[in-house]
């Protein structure tokens, strides 16, 4: 299934709209519905879609029940599928004759941002025999250059190794592939796993066929049905990147970050650019959903974990609600420790029983107010590595973390704790 196949229920906006805050303002005025813009002032012939990747929209589009979604993602982490390499594909239909990024519908959403950003585009890089696919926001600098905020994970390690040899890193940048590709790119692992192989596994599980890849002129392979593909290099040059409104809704710092030089651009006919708005539900879902399986797997090592929800208030990144079925009195506290270890950027985790709807903050708060005693059911751990997304972290990057046990005390009569609502 292609990205565009998930847009049947989108509301079409045909009025002239600018990439300079116009897409953002219209989305805000319509409460961030699933939208498709087909009249972009700066990019005639290009369309823009946003507000697609919420949990509900993804489950509907992929024909998956919400309670099955996390297990589907988790199952793909343990398997590496084999993509099918093809000679041609829709993304190669319309190559740009002269590279000009300014003619793409790259949006300037938040007025606090430095400029026009690609927030939903993925970088596929190859260096030293390793392939990596991951999300890194990219600031449009000029017609053939971007400045990317490359966070300290695998791609940063590859780039650092290349720069030590005064070498560049060959990359592709893709926009609007199948959602299973985006979810795979949003996963992170301690070891170097090929996210395109994980994407192929998901593709086979969801669609019963392998993911098809085409090869770009620089040798990098990309999904054949993505809407846009660019090829180029992470250079040895740095430039200012930021400010940028990040997932928590706060403004991220200005940093010196690597410059990408784009050598070529190709896209589908009548292409649709994915213009995710940072700090909105789509951003939080894309960041948070791939974290949930790793947390669930970690908690399942110590007790039965039924579900995990990354909260919107935590930006889909800093806080989670974990539903367990306790088998003894220590399970909830063990679940707290395992959950925090399963996602090290997380600052707060709340453990609840199986009768609580973990996607409903009112029910979670109800569980806390009726089942949690702060002096005995709270774990606070100091001096932990924090997330750069948390502006309250210490200057050295450390933070405290908290776990809340909002389960019914084990082994007692549950009747007084049971809601009839």
Tokens of 365: 């708060």
DSSP-based three-state secondary structure for 20? strand
**Quick one: how far is CA 350 from the chain centroid?**
22
Q: Residue 69: phi, psi to the nearest 5?
A: -65, -50
Q: Are the C-beta atoms of residues 72 and 292 closer than 8 Å to each other?
A: no
Out of 246, 307, 377, 390, the active site residue is 246
Q: Residue 397: phi, psi to the nearest 5?
A: 85, 0
Rounded Cα gap, residues 241 and 222, in angstroms: 26
DSSP-based three-state secondary structure for 345? coil
Residue 329 β-bridge partners:
none
Q: Are the C-beta atoms of residues 261 and 96 closer than 8 Å to each other?
A: no
- 81: how many CB neighbours lie within 10 A of its CB? 19
**Quick check: is 246 catalytic?**
yes
β-strands 272-274, 47-50 pairing: parallel
Query: DSSP 3-state helix, strand, coil percentages of the chain (rounded to 5)?
Result: 25, 30, 45
The dihedral through the CA atoms of 121, 124, 198, 343 has a sign that is negative
Burial environment of residue 12 by CB neighbours within 10 A (0 to 12, 13 to 18, 19 or more): exposed
Q: Which residue has the tokens 């708005």?
A: 277
Q: Are the C-beta atoms of residues 295 and 322 closer than 8 Å to each other?
A: yes
**Which residues are the active-site residues?**
246
């Amino acid at each position: 299934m292609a990205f565009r196949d998930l847009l049947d229920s989108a509301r079409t906006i045909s009025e002239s709209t600018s990439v300079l805050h116009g897409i953002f303002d219209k989305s805000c005025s319509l409460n961030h519905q699933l939208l498709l813009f087909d009249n972009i002032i700066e990019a005639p012939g290009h369309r823009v879609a946003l507000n697609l990747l919420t949990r509900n929209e993804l489950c509907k589009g992929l024909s998956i029940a919400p309670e099955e979604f996390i297990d589907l993602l988790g199952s793909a982490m343990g398997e590496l599928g084999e993509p099918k390499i093809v000679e041609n594909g829709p993304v190669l239909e319309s190559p740009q004759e002269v590279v000009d990024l300014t003619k793409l519908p790259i949006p300037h959403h938040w007025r606090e941002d430095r400029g026009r950003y690609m927030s939903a585009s993925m970088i596929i890089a190859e260096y030293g025999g390793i392939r990596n696919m991951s999300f890194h926001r990219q600031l449009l600098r000029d017609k053939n250059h971007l400045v990317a905020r490359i966070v300290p994970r695998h791609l940063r390690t590859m780039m650092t190794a290349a720069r030590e040899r005064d070498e560049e890193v060959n990359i592709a940048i893709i926009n609007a592939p199948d959602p299973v590709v985006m979810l795979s790119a949003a996963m992170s692992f301690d070891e170097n796993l090929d996210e395109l192989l994980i994407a192929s596994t998901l593709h086979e599980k969801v669609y019963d066929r392998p993911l098809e890849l085409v090869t770009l002129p620089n040798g990098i392979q990309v999904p054949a049905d993505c809407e846009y593909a660019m090829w180029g290099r992470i250079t040895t040059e740095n430039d200012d990147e930021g400010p940028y409104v990040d997932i928590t809704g706060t403004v991220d710092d200005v940093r010196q970050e690597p410059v990408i030089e784009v050598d070529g651009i190709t896209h589908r006919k009548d292409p649709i650019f994915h213009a995710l708005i940072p700090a909105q539900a789509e951003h939080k879902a894309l960041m948070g959903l791939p974290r949930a399986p790793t947390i669930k797997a970690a908690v399942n090592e110590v007790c039965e974990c039924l579900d995990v929800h990354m909260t919107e208030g935590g930006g889909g990144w800093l806080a989670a609600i974990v539903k367990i079925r306790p088998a003894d009195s220590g399970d909830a506290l063990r679940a707290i420790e395992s959950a925090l270890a399963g996602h090290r950027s997380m600052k707060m985790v709340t453990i609840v029983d199986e009768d609580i709807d973990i996607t409903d903050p009112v029910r979670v708060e109800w569980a806390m107010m009726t089942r949690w005693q702060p002096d005995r059911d709270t774990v606070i751990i100091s001096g932990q590595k924090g997330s750069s997304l948390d502006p309250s972290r210490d200057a050295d990057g450390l933070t405290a973390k908290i776990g809340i046990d909002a389960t019914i005390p084990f082994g007692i009569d549950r009747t007084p704790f049971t809601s009839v609502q």
